[in-house]
């Protein structure tokens, strides 16, 4: 690939002698190649060693025995659930929510910070360079929960999207959340707008962005859905919610609205290129066609869908139709590992249990879901998700010459089909976040201790 224009006197990091999967539009790969990082951008990617006469090289890394990929991008998560893992392990979604809402409704600023630190630490250690959190529980008097979550991501050094959620349909209105766990319509809209105006950065290379994200059809009024969409478009930010996750949700929508989830979303302004939905397990051909027609994205969460017995999303059909699809961890109360790199493998394996069997997904499609697919879903495909000159230097150096991977001949197959590969180096905007499997900006032992005490 050609080198991009770079300002004079910018510090460079050179990684060479490594396998490279660029995940660009042509799926360009190099059996032995190099990546040159200049400042916060990728300057060049190519075969063989990097040029010896590069100026201002502050670090030259021998990547022998490694694979370089774009950093992983998480498109759906609930950080607060880090401190309620391992509960209600044999429940479907609605029963699980009813069991856990009373606990979640007592969250405060300190709990949110500790939970965010734990969630971010697990993802960053496993190669995530762009994280997101869909937080929708804002009890009265709980403090600045959004600020605490955003601060934890900033301290960890990862790129971050906060999907500022909300709920205004409680038990008394026919919803699932307890009455004391929801906001008013006007309160939710005002708080969401304040969060966007305070924290959202629309510039290229932004470290923090905010989306408008009412929780779900069964916890949010139709008016909040409609006004939330209007608010997001007035402010120029993206929209996120849960959709078509379970058969119970399908039944709920038909009973309450007289239509299925996709038709309901379309009636409230919630289909479009600026929208992405979590799960989308129960989608018929018409639903998939509507998502493809409107460019609506999907956050596929295979482990959580299996944990809650929600079903198998039709990811191969979505991809064939042109629907943007990324990967999500989902909350760690329904995916206790809290890692995204394991979702590459689980997405491939679980989808092969569906109608397409062994032709459902291959290793490179799985890697694309976790990188370029996620970038497209978050509206950041011009910045991240592939290794190309001019894009942000968000990348991961995976060690594949150890006992877990050395006998798997193909590097991409090794990290998708094999055990979770160790991360030797993770860069976000050219800055190291993880080295040799350890976080550089956080004390893992302290995070574990604080989470245990909450």
**Contact residues for 285 (Cβ-Cβ < 8 A; gap 6+):** 317
Query: In this structure, how many other beta carbons lie within 10 angstroms of the beta carbon of residue 31?
Result: 9
- CA atoms 243, 245, 250, 256: torsion sign: negative
pLDDT tens, position by position, 182-213: 899 999 999 999 999 999 999 999 999 999 99
Question: Mean per-residue pLDDT for 405-429?
Answer: 97
Strand locations in 22-137, DSSP E? 29-38, 41-47, 57-62, 66-70, 72-73, 128-135
For residue 267, what are the CA distances in angstroms to 172, 260, 377? 24, 11, 21
Say which residue, 7 or 123, is predicted with more confidence. 123
Rounded CA-CA distance 368/417 in Å is: 14
Query: What pLDDT, on a 0 to 100 scale, did the predictor assign at position 171?
Result: 80
Q: Quickly state the pLDDT bin for 221 (edges 50, 70, 90).
A: very high
Query: What pLDDT, on a 0 to 100 scale, did the predictor assign at position 4?
Result: 59
Phi, psi (5° rounding) for residue 277? Answer: -115, 145
Phi, psi (5° rounding) for residue 159? Answer: -75, 145
- Same fold: 12-70+386-439 with 72-377: no
Q: Quickly state the pLDDT bin for 104 (edges 50, 70, 90).
A: confident
Q: Taking the model in full, what pTM does it have?
A: 0.95
Phi and psi based region of residue 327 (left: phi greater than 0; alpha: psi -120 to 50; beta: remaining): beta
Do the beta carbons of residue 298 and residue 323 sit within 8 Å?
Answer: yes
Query: What pLDDT, on a 0 to 100 scale, did the predictor assign at position 175?
Result: 75
Q: Quickly state the pLDDT bin for 436 (edges 50, 70, 90).
A: very high
Question: Mean per-residue pLDDT for 302-320?
Answer: 95
Least reliable range by pLDDT among 56-70, 86-100, 186-200, 312-326: 86-100
Query: What pLDDT, on a 0 to 100 scale, did the predictor assign at position 95?
Result: 81
- Which tokens in the block code for residue 278? 């979590």
Q: 103-107 contacts: CB < 8 A, separation 24 or more?
A: 104/80, 104/137, 104/181, 105/137, 105/139, 105/177, 105/178, 105/180, 105/181, 106/139, 107/80, 107/137, 107/139, 107/142, 107/145
- Which among 208, 291, 193 is positioned nearest to 244, based on CA atoms? 291
pLDDT(407) > 90: yes
Domain range annotation of the chain = 12-70+386-439, 72-377
For residue 239, what are the CA distances in angstroms to 50, 201, 274, 413? 41, 15, 6, 34
- Which tokens in the block code for residue 86? 């391992």
Least reliable range by pLDDT among 168-172, 352-356, 401-405: 168-172
Question: Mean per-residue pLDDT for 151-172?
Answer: 95
Query: What pLDDT, on a 0 to 100 scale, did the predictor assign at position 3?
Result: 60
- Which tokens in the block code for residue 59? 């670090």
pLDDT(97) > 80: no
Question: Mean per-residue pLDDT for 225-244?
Answer: 98
Helices 247-257, 93-104: axis angle to 10 degrees equals 80
Question: Mean per-residue pLDDT for 136-143?
Answer: 89
**Contact residues for 315 (Cβ-Cβ < 8 A; gap 6+):** 298, 300, 325, 347, 351, 360, 361, 369
Question: Mean per-residue pLDDT for 226-255?
Answer: 94
What's the half-sphere exposure (Cβ side, CA atoms, 13 Å) at 310?
31
What's the half-sphere exposure (Cβ side, CA atoms, 13 Å) at 48?
4
Which among 237-251, 417-431, 437-451 has the top mean pLDDT?
A: 417-431
pLDDT(75) > 80: yes
CA 362 distance to own-chain centroid = 20
Rounded CA-CA distance 362/347 in Å is: 10
Question: Mean per-residue pLDDT for 76-101?
Answer: 81
Do the beta carbons of residue 201 and residue 208 sit within 8 Å?
Answer: yes
Phi, psi (5° rounding) for residue 222? Answer: -60, -35
pLDDT(311) > 80: yes
pLDDT(434) > 80: yes
The alpha carbons of the chain give a radius of gyration, in whole angstroms, of 21
What's the mean per-residue pLDDT of the chain?
93
Q: Which CATH number fits domain 12-70+386-439: 1.10.150.20, 3.40.50.2000, 2.30.40.10, 1.10.3720.10?
A: 2.30.40.10
- CA atoms 213, 214, 217, 221: torsion sign: negative
Rounded CA-CA distance 177/217 in Å is: 12
Question: Mean per-residue pLDDT for 132-148?
Answer: 93
DSSP for 262-313 reads: HHHHHHTT--STTEEEEE--S--HHHHHHHHHHT-EEEE-HHHHHHTT----
- Which tokens in the block code for residue 109? 């600023």
Rounded CA-CA distance 167/108 in Å is: 17
Least reliable range by pLDDT among 146-155, 174-183, 301-310, 444-453: 174-183
Phi, psi (5° rounding) for residue 116? Answer: -65, -40
Rounded CA-CA distance 51/36 in Å is: 9
- Which among 357, 373, 239 is positioned nearest to 300, based on CA atoms? 373
What's the half-sphere exposure (Cβ side, CA atoms, 13 Å) at 361?
32
pLDDT(217) > 90: no
CATH number of 72-377: 3.20.20.140
Do the beta carbons of residue 389 and residue 42 sit within 8 Å?
Answer: yes
């Amino acid at each position: 690939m050609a080198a991009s224009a770079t300002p004079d006197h910018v510090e460079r990091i050179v990684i060479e002698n490594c396998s490279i999967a660029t995940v660009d539009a042509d799926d360009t790969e190099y059996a032995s190649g190099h990546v040159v990082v200049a400042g916060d951008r990728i300057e060049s990617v190519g075969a063989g060693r990097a040029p010896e006469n590069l100026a201002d090289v502050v670090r030259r890394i021998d990547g022998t025995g490694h694979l370089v990929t774009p950093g992983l991008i998480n498109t759906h998560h609930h950080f607060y659930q880090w401190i309620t893992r391992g509960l209600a392990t044999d429940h479907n979604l609605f029963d699980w929510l009813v069991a856990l809402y009373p606990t979640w409704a007592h969250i405060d600023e300190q709990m949110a910070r500790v939970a965010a630190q734990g969630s971010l630490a697990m993802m960053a250690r496993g190669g995530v360079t762009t994280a997101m959190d869909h937080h929708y529980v804002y009890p009265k008097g709980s403090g600045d929960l959004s600020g605490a979550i955003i601060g934890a991501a900033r301290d960890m050094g990862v790129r971050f999207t906060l999907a500022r959620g909300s709920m205004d349909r409680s038990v008394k209105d026919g919803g699932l959340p307890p009455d004391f766990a929801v906001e008013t319509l006007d309160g939710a809209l005002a708080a969401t707008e304040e969060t966007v105006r305070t924290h959202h950065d629309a510039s290229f290379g932004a470290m923090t962005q905010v989306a408008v994200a009412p929780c779900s059809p069964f916890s949010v009024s139709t008016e909040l859905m409609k006004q939330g969409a209007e608010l997001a478009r007035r402010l120029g930010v993206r929209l996120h919610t849960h959709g078509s996750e379970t058969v119970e949700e399908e039944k709920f929508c038909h009973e309450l609205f007289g239509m299925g989830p996709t038709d309901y979303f379309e009636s409230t302004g919630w289909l479009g290129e600026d929208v992405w939905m979590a799960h989308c397990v129960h989608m018929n051909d018409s639903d998939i066609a509507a998502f493809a027609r409107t460019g609506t994205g999907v956050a596929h969460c295979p482990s959580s869908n299996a944990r809650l017995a929600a079903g198998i999303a039709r990811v191969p059909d979505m991809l064939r139709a042109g629907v943007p699809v990324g990967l999500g961890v989902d909350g760690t109360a329904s995916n206790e590992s809290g890692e995204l790199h394991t979702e590459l493998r689980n997405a491939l394996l679980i989808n092969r249990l569906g109608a397409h069997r062994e032709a459902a997904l291959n290793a490179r499609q799985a890697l694309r879901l976790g990188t370029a697919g996620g970038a497209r879903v978050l509206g950041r495909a011009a910045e991240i998700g592939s290794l190309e000159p001019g894009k942000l230097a968000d990348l991961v150096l995976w060690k594949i010459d150890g006992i877990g991977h050395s006998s798997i001949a193909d590097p991409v197959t090794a990290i998708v089909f094999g055990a979770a590969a160790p991360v030797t180096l993770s860069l976000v905007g050219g800055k190291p976040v993880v080295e040799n499997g350890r976080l550089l900006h956080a004390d893992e032992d302290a995070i574990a201790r604080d989470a245990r005490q909450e």
